[in-house]
Amino acid sequence: MTPLYLDCNATTPVDPVVVDAMMPWFREQFGNPHSVNHTFGTDAAAAVEDARRSIARLVGADAREIIFTSGATESNNLAIKGAARFERRMRGRRNRIITVASEHKCVLESVKALEAEGFATDVLPVGTDGTVETERLARALDDDVILVSVMAANNEIGTLQPLADIGAMTRACGALFHCDGAQAAGRIPLDVNTAAIDLMSLSGHKVYGPKGIGVLYVRRRPRARIEPLFSGGGQERTLRSGTVPAPLAIGFGKAADLAAPRQVEEATRLDTLARALINGLPGVSLNGPPLDSRLPGNLNLLIEGVDAGHLISRVPELAFSTGSACTSAVVEPSYVLRAIGLTPGQAASSIRLGIGRFTTSDDIAFANERLTHAINRCRREA
């Protein structure tokens, strides 16, 4: 592949097995899964339900708790806004949302939008490794909290949050626990019951499936209540209207089936490749948690004395980034890196590398050689 792709936290290539599973549903079996009067529709519906079960198994859920959406951004919006608005309309007892400063942009913007609607919000700081301070969260929790939103794994720095601790504290105070699991699903084991998660967002294209499809897990017992974002036919348990794109849902299901049995083996392989990639890189340090306690395959590197944008332009044969793809149009330094204490200059000297399923040891050797050369060249030119 030219250039060599090292941005798997932004998106992953679709696994060829997933492509093969989807193709018949674009061509011969193109029925609307909500058309129940003929076999085109009922066959599509049955395949979608199989996919729903596969995705549910990946996170320890029941298939009836899986709602198809267009992706994790929609799922995050639906979970956070839906929970807050349901509480206000139906109960009116609670009024506060809690999240964390290093969350995905769509979570922070959803919380900000609720603040404009009159909800109280708390955005908690994180430590230098990106982990939320559970003691501080415990102090913030009370009977006014509707929902706590904390991601499983950070998309920029790979921080793995203590989900079970957060879930236990949140449930004890009677609030809902929402988790953005898009980066973590398929890379580390996730179980919504073990972690007492009430709402979880997932995305197909982060797990070697297609873009344009995601899910929201919505707990049935004890029931998590949310309002839909928009009106329509109520196809997905009345919570998400619109025709489910059968080929994409089926692709996501196949991707989940592929990911589930290989998580441990793949995590070990990605860790080995990550260590090889940064071995010997000159004047480089790791942002966020250490390699043995971060999301497998994620590297965020501070390269002292080198502008990240300049470095990227010097290695066109490698595809990597400075941070989240969802804020790539923003010029200022990463808010996630600022949240863990980096200066603007340090954040501007940081790059993100994402290693994935199809990255080989030869790829890593090539990337290490090209990065070393480019870093040294940038420093000479500075």
Beta bridge partners of 351: 301
**For the chain, how long is the longest CA-to-CA vector?**
70
Give the DSSP H or E segment for 5: strand 4-5
Beginning with the edge strand found earlier in the chain, give each strand of the sheet holding 284-286 in spatial order: 284-286, 298-303, 350-354
Annotated catalytic residue 378: no
- Collapsing DSSP to helix, strand or coil, 90 comes out as helix
Output phi, psi for 350, to 5 deg.
Answer: -115, 145
The answer for residues whose C-beta is within 8 angstroms of residue 40's C-beta and 6 or more apart is: 29, 30, 31, 32
Exposure on the CB side of residue 29, measured as CA atoms within 13 A: 19
The active-site residue out of 8, 106, 179, 326 is: 326
3-class SS of residue 348: helix
Q: Which two tokens stand for residue 376?
A: 């040294």
Q: And the tokens for 231?
A: 């009106």
Q: Which residues pair with 278 in a beta bridge?
A: none
Closest among 98, 150, 72 to 325, alpha carbons compared: 72
How do beta strands 120-124 and 96-100 pair? parallel
Residue 150 near residue 134, CB atoms below 8 Å: no
Question: How many residues does the structure list for the chain?
Answer: 382
Report, as residue numbers or ranges, the catalytic residues: 326
